[in-house]
Each structure stands twice: as structure tokens, then as C-alpha cells.
Amino acid sequence: MCYKTLLVHLDDSQRCVVRLALALELAERFDAHLVGLYLPMPRARTAAADGAPGPDELREIAQTQFLDAGARAQRIVEWRAPQPGDSPSATLHARHADLLVLGQHDHEDPAVEPGGDFVTDLLMTAARPAIVVPYAGAFPEFAQNVLIAWDGSREAARAASDALPLLRRANSVSIEVVAPRGGAKRARAEEQVVDASAWLDLHGVSASFHESAPVAGVETGTALLSHASDLHAGLIVAGAYAHSRIHERVLGGVTRTLLEAMTVPVLMSH
């Protein structure tokens, strides 16, 4: 497997430039075609204040910035601005890409959707892996050291498989058992992590595995982020979990923590 087509979500947020820079770096790394999907969030499409650019002008600015960035990087890029610009439309475009580059929800950015469900919806419906980029920080060592969150589930296996092109190029790969201690799920995860490491080895990825002792009052997702910091990980690979209730989507605990508190990019797959 290799990433030949990447799709980056473009909007009018302040962090779009960081997201685009990472997508262009990935396109260079894998010699991939890059699609820029411009979908500004609803708040960005409200009536402009006096002197502020309107929706058409914002779209033209975003298009110019995207095409200019692609030219500077000497990459072939493709601009798309579908109508209607909503999550179902984004899903249709995302399904024709090998990897998505999305942005973490930023509550403080006025150009970002208040509800913050865009990333979750795309993860759950597009059937494609996505790298979610934090709304703060720079990532010069992206994916040089990688931490895989492992609980033996289908989602964890899917994420590890989807991350293989990045794992093969990493300097180091670590697998962290994240299942709760003491239960049958934990026992299965601990047994399967050895097999997962052997499977990665057959794909040219040498991975070590680690089992953290639980800390009272510390959630699994928080502990995972702490361990990623200890390892200087530039990417976390994790399965994405959610189930639907009436009028809402309920995220799994680790998934929710990673999406809300990530400090490095996270590759998620469902």
C-alpha cells in the first residue's frame, strides 16, 4: 500500500496554512497527488462585517493561496470547492483519496464550526484514514517516531494497516497497550500485541511494545498522550471509535481524549 492521492481540508481558519504545509510535505514524501477540498464551516459563511471579505472573496483567497503553495512546493495539486459544502459532500470526495489531512476542532477560532462534528463525521463515514492536525504547535519531526495505540480491536488493526507507508519510513515505532487493566479485553490485547509486532516486522517495520502501569485518576487517553511525549513521538496511530444515538454521535473515551487534547498529529481509522 502507498498513498497516491491525498486530500486536505481547506477552510478560512488560522491553522489552515499549517495543515496545508503538512499535506504538501506528505505529497512530496510519497510523490502523491494532492486535492484541496475547500469547505468553510457555517460560521465562516455568515454575513460579512463592514470591510470584511465575503464568501466569494474568501474562496478566491483560499484558492490562490492553495495553488501558490502547490507551485512553490512543485507539486501537482487540484482545487475543489463543491456545492453544497457539507459533510455528506466531503465524504463523497474523501472516499476517492488514500489519506485525509484534517484539522483538530478549535473552539477559539471564529472561522470554525461551533459544533465541531466535521472531523468525527468524516472519520466515521469516509472509510479512509485521516491525519488530524492539532490546532496549536509546529511539527518538524512529523512521523519520525510513531506510537501505535493497541487494544486488539478491529479499529486498532485497521489503523495500523492504514499507517504502514508512514511506519516503514519512521525512525522508531512503539506499540502501547491501551486496554483497561484486569479485564479479558486487556488480556487479549497483551497476547495480540506480540503478533501485531511480528506482523509489522514482516512489513519491514521494527516495533517495540510497551505496557504502562495504570495511574489512579488518569484516563487511558491522557496516559497515552503522556507516553507519546516521553517517547518524543511525532505521530500517534489509533483506531477511531463511536456509536450513534438519536441526533448525536458518541465517541469512545480514548478517541474523544485524543481529538480534544492532542499535542501531536494523530492518524485515525475506523
Q: Are 164 and 258 contained in the same domain?
A: yes
- Asked if residue 139 is part of any domain, the answer here is no
Q: pLDDT at residue 193 above 70?
A: yes
Q: Which domain holds residue 174?
A: 145-269
* Size of the chain in residues: 270
At 190 the pLDDT is 77
CATH number at residue 71: 3.40.50.620
Same domain, residue pair 63 and 171? no
Does the pTM surpass 0.75? The reply is: yes
Q: What is the pLDDT at residue 62?
A: 95
Q: How far apart are CA 223 and CA 217, in angstroms?
A: 10
pLDDT computed for residue 241 by the predictor = 82
Which residues neighbour 76 within 8 Å (Cβ) at sequence distance 6 or greater?
33, 34, 70
pLDDT of residue 251: 61
pLDDT in tens, 27-72: 999 999 999 999 987 654 445 555 678 889 999 999 999 999 999 9
pLDDT of residue 192: 83
| CB atoms closer than 10 angstroms to residue 73 | 17
Lowest mean pLDDT, pick from 82-86, 135-139, 151-155, 180-184: 180-184
Give the number of domains in the chain: 2
Residue of 56 and 184 predicted with greater confidence: 56
Q: Is residue 140 part of a domain?
A: no
Query: Is 30 among the domain residues?
Result: yes
CA–CA gap between residue 232 and residue 263 (Å, rounded): 11
The answer on 108 and 13 residing in a single domain is: yes
- The residue among 255 and 234 whose pLDDT is bigger is 234
The verdict on 183 and 98 lying in the same domain is no
Q: Between 21 and 227, whose confidence is greater?
A: 21
Lowest-pLDDT range, 50-64, 93-107, 137-151, 235-249?
235-249
Pairing type for strands 5-10 and 77-80 reads: unpaired
The band of 247, judged by pLDDT with boundaries at 50, 70 and 90, is: very low
* 84 and 45 fall within a common domain: yes
Cell of 236: 500517534
* Of 79, 112, 133, the domain-final residue: 133
Are 222 and 255 contacting, i.e. CB atoms less than 8 angstroms apart? Answer: no
In a shared domain, residues 193 and 248: yes
- Please check whether residues 175 and 102 belong to one and the same domain: no
Please check the confidence at residue 160 and state whether its pLDDT lies above 50.
Answer: yes
pLDDT, mean over the chain: 86
Is residue 160 one of the residues assigned to a domain?
yes
Q: Do residues 53 and 117 both lie within one domain?
A: yes
Percent of the chain with pLDDT over 90: 57
Give the separation between CA 130 and CA 123, rounded to whole angstroms: 7
Residues 6+ apart with CB under 8 A from 211: 176, 177, 190
pLDDT at 189: 73
Asked, for residue 103, whether it belongs to a domain, the answer is yes
Would the pLDDT of 76 be above 70? yes
Give residue 246's pLDDT. 46
Residues 6+ apart with CB under 8 A from 37: 7, 8, 9, 10, 80, 81, 82, 90, 93, 94
In a domain? residue 138 = no
Q: How confident is the model at residue 108 (pLDDT cuts 50, 70, 90)?
A: confident
80 with 118, same domain: the answer is yes
End position of a domain, from candidates 106, 133, 160:
133
129 and 53 in a common domain = yes
User: Which pLDDT does position 73 carry in this prediction?
Assistant: 96
Average pLDDT over residues 245-251: 52
3-state secondary structure of 50: coil
- Grid coordinates of 165: 507507508
Per-residue confidence band for 213, with pLDDT thresholds at 50, 70 and 90 = low
